């Protein structure tokens, strides 16, 4: 009898531990990582290719190189569908010689009220700065970080975080700007990389990977 009681207790403890792990994994599992390393499928999703972007080997691994003229890719999915809080991260390398304005990661909600999230760069000589943008119906918020300039031609991590009321963005883990916006829960949609979805403001440089998480990600948890 004692043995049965011990076994029952062990099973109960294992069940509780398993539930805790499952819940933790569920939170972590709400992240989707896209390796931007080929032109056929990204995260198992078909890729529509514009122009002639190139898959290149870099010191960080394979990436897609965009020429800043007519290269882009479209993926028919919004990886943040259903999210009311979210974090968008990317590792990218902006190169010299591109347009002054480049809107290079664009998520568009095609199901509900017009909503979008965008990662953009602005070039200023041999430097760039981050411009991020959220729109939800008539609500919109740009974070135009013109006072935070960075050298071109090297890799950066950037993040756009929305916590349900406030938007903020980071470069290499450092907070640059914040702003308040009421953003409706994302619906189904389309993602483009290398260009805005109306095919203007092309990006020149390389994109290595992106991660989309339907919760707030703290800087210490950011993508490597």
pLDDT tens for 5-53 read 444 444 433 343 333 333 333 344 489 999 999 999 999 999 999 999 9
Q: Are 104 and 195 in contact (CB under 8 A)?
A: yes
- Strand partners for 161: 87, 168
Phi, psi of 186 (to 5 degrees): -60, 140
Q: What is the pTM of this model?
A: 0.86
Residue 205 β-bridge partners: 66, 94
Provide the CATH topology of domain 33-221. Answer: Jelly Rolls (2.60.120)
Question: Using one digit for the tens of pLDDT, what is the confidence trace for 62-74?
Answer: 999 999 999 999 9
pLDDT per residue as tens digits for the range 179-219 = 999 999 999 999 999 999 999 999 999 999 999 999 999 99
d(C-alpha 151, C-alpha 91), whole Å: 15
Sequence-distant (≥ 6) Cβ neighbours of residue 144 within 8 angstroms? 122, 129, 131, 177
Burial level of 34, CB count in 10 A (0-12/13-18/19+)?
buried
**pLDDT over 70 for what percent of the chain?**
87
185, with CB counted inside 10 A (0-12, 13-18, 19+), is: middle
Better-predicted residue by pLDDT, 125 or 28: 125
């Amino acid at each position: 009898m004692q043995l049965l009681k011990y076994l029952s207790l062990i099973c109960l403890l294992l069940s509780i531990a398993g539930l805790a792990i499952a819940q933790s994994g569920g939170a972590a599992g709400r992240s989707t990582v896209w390796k931007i390393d080929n032109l056929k499928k990204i995260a198992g999703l078909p890729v529509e290719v514009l122009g002639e972007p190139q898959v290149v080997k870099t010191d960080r691994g394979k990436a897609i190189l965009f020429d800043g003229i007519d290269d882009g890719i479209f993926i028919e999915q919004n990886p943040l569908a259903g999210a009311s809080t979210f974090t968008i991260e990317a590792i990218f390398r902006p190169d010299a010689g591109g347009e002054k304005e480049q809107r290079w990661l664009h998520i568009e909600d095609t199901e509900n009220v017009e909503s979008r999230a965008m990662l953009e760069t602005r070039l200023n000589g041999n430097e760039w700065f981050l411009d991020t943008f959220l729109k939800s119906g008539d609500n919109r918020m740009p974070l135009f970080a013109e006072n935070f300039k960075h050298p071109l031609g090297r890799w950066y991590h950037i993040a756009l975080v929305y916590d349900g009321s406030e938007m903020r963005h980071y470069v290499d883990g450092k907070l640059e700007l914040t702003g308040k916006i009421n953003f409706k829960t994302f619906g189904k949609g389309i993602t483009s990389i290398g260009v805005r979805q109306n095919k203007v403001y092309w990006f020149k440089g390389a994109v290595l990977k992106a991660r989309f998480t339907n919760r707030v990600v703290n800087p210490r948890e950011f993508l490597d």
